[in-house]
């Protein structure tokens, strides 16, 4: 029985993790559930999974949740940064599922690794902001970090059983989002409601907008750089609208190993939870005759400058990836709230990066300071 601490239990990834827990009650149980503001859904999850600990964003929400519980529920309610760290380091948890959205996931994820917890990682911002620090700490503690994101999970699988010195290139696939074939001049009038209509995946609003700008793929390239210890120049983004090939690895003899599956997040989540085993999910394999053709194209960096900005931030290193991520979070939030236009997201990220004075070999305090500075600067631009 593997006991899970799920950070981000009310989000898309967290809900799918709990579906797998329900499907395999002999394999998994829940030690902790951490959410943000959605206490209605969290309350339902508490009644169904009976964790030891639950966490919400602040003390007001914690009090409201406590009022709905009865003594028999026997769950400790925590809140805020200390609460998330407590859930991530809970002694009874065997695996921490890091599925919080955005930079808020960094400190709990780092705390889990520092305390020797195995991590199933869906919070890419942890590696974008502090990839070198997080992976170094994981190596020092002997802690496995297994990716949940479908692309990184595919790379993880495609590297298995092969010599790392034979790796030549990583091909990171992208659906292209809802505006793949939309003329660039029409993007000025895109509304949040339209941008949230992803053609393939069912995700939360922030990640869906990142997919529409291709920033999500840029963040994933930075994540892959640290997760698999490869230079960013060996990572190539390829648009693949069918979303059947989730990523590929090219080896020096010209061989390409790929992981293929229908776009269902339960597949990579289950593999991360049960690694190295595979669970009988009842998910069908792709019907290649029915699919017909799989297509690929290069990304249009003029239409989607966020991808180019992310690659630039990764190449420059230092605190640039932190600034990129923070400015993007502020800009996406502003767009979702109808404060700026769609194309203004990339402009604000670029402006913020242009004003940044980077810190060499940043520690955690430097990373947090750069994050705070970038948020203030981007908000001024908004």
Q: Which of 95, 122, 147 is the last residue of a domain?
A: 147
The pLDDT value given to residue 70: 78
Position 200 pLDDT exceeds 70? no
CA–CA separation, 283 and 285 (whole Å): 7
Residue 230 CB coordination number (10 Å): 18
Q: What is the pLDDT of residues 155-185, one digit of tens each?
A: 999 999 999 999 999 999 999 988 998 898 8
228 and 373, same domain (yes or no): no
The pLDDT value given to residue 209: 93
Q: What is the pLDDT of residues 84-141, one digit of tens each?
A: 999 999 999 999 999 998 889 999 999 999 999 999 999 999 999 999 999 999 999 9
Please check whether residue 214 is in contact with residue 174, taking contact to mean a CB–CB distance below 8 angstroms: yes
Q: What is the CATH number of the domain that holds 349?
A: 1.10.1740.10
Asked, for residue 9, whether it belongs to a domain, the answer is: yes
Position 201 pLDDT exceeds 90? no
129 and 11, same domain (yes or no): yes
Q: Which of 83, 113, 147 is the last residue of a domain?
A: 147
Position 54 pLDDT exceeds 90? yes
Indicate the pTM of the whole model. 0.92
Domain that holds residue 221: 152-263+284-311
The pLDDT value given to residue 72: 63
Q: What is the pLDDT of residues 279-337, one digit of tens each?
A: 999 999 999 999 889 999 999 999 999 999 999 999 999 999 999 999 999 999 999 99
382 and 349, same domain (yes or no): yes
Q: Which of 107, 129, 147 is the last residue of a domain?
A: 147
96 and 160, same domain (yes or no): no
Position 204 pLDDT exceeds 80? no
* pLDDT classification of 199: cutoffs 50, 70, 90: low
Look over the chain and give the mean of its residue pLDDT values, rounded to a whole number. Answer: 95
**Number of structural domains the chain divides into:** 3
Q: What is the CATH number of the domain that holds 54?
A: 3.40.50.720
194 and 244, same domain (yes or no): yes
Residue 117 CB coordination number (10 Å): 22
The pLDDT value given to residue 16: 96
In terms of DSSP H, where are the helices of the chain? 12-23, 39-49, 59-68, 80-88, 106-114, 124-141, 150-159, 192-195, 205-213, 215-227, 266-274, 288-291, 305-316, 320-336, 344-355, 364-381
330 and 367, same domain (yes or no): yes
């Amino acid at each position: 029985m593997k006991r899970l601490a799920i950070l981000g239990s009310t989000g898309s990834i967290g809900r799918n993790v709990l579906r797998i827990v329900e499907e395999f009650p002999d394999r998994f149980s829940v030690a902790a559930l951490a959410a943000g503001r959605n206490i209605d859904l969290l309350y339902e999850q508490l009644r169904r999974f009976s964790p030891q600990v639950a966490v919400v964003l602040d003390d007001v929400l914690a009090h409201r949740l406590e009022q709905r519980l009865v003594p028999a529920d026997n769950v400790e309610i925590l809140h805020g940064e200390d609460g998330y760290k407590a859930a991530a380091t809970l002694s009874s948890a065997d695996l921490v599922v890091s599925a919080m959205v955005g930079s808020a996931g960094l400190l709990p994820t780092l705390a889990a690794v520092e305390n020797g917890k195995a991590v199933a990682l869906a919070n890419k911002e942890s590696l974008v902001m502090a990839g070198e620090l997080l992976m170094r700490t994981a190596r020092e503690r002997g802690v496995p970090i297994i990716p949940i994101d479908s692309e990184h999970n595919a790379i993880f699988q495609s590297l298995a059983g092969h010599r790392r010195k034979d790796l030549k290139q990583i091909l990171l696939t992208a659906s292209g989002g809802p505006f793949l074939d939309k003329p660039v001049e029409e993007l000025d009038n895109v509304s949040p409601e339209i941008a949230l209509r992803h053609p393939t995946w069912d995700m939360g609003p922030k990640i869906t907008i990142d997919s529409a700008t291709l920033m999500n793929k840029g963040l994933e390239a930075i994540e892959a750089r640290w997760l698999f210890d490869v230079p960013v120049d060996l990572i190539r983004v390829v648009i693949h609208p069918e979303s059947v090939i989730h990523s590929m690895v090219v080896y020096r003899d010209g061989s390409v190993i790929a992981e293929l599956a229908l776009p269902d997040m339960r597949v990579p989540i289950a593999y991360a939870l049960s690694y190295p085993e595979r669970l009988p999910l009842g998910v069908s394999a792709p019907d290649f005759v029915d699919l017909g053709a799989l297509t690929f194209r290069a990304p249009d960096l003029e239409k989607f400058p966020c991808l180019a900005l992310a690659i630039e931030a990764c190449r420059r290193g230092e605190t640039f990836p932190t600034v990129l991520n923070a400015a993007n979070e502020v800009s996406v939030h502003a767009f979702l709230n109808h404060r700026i236009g769609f194309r203004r997201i990339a402009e604000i990220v670029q402006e913020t990066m242009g004003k940044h004075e980077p810190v060499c070999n940043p520690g955690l305090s430097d990373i947090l300071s750069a994050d705070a500075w970038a948020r203030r600067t981007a908000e001024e631009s908004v």
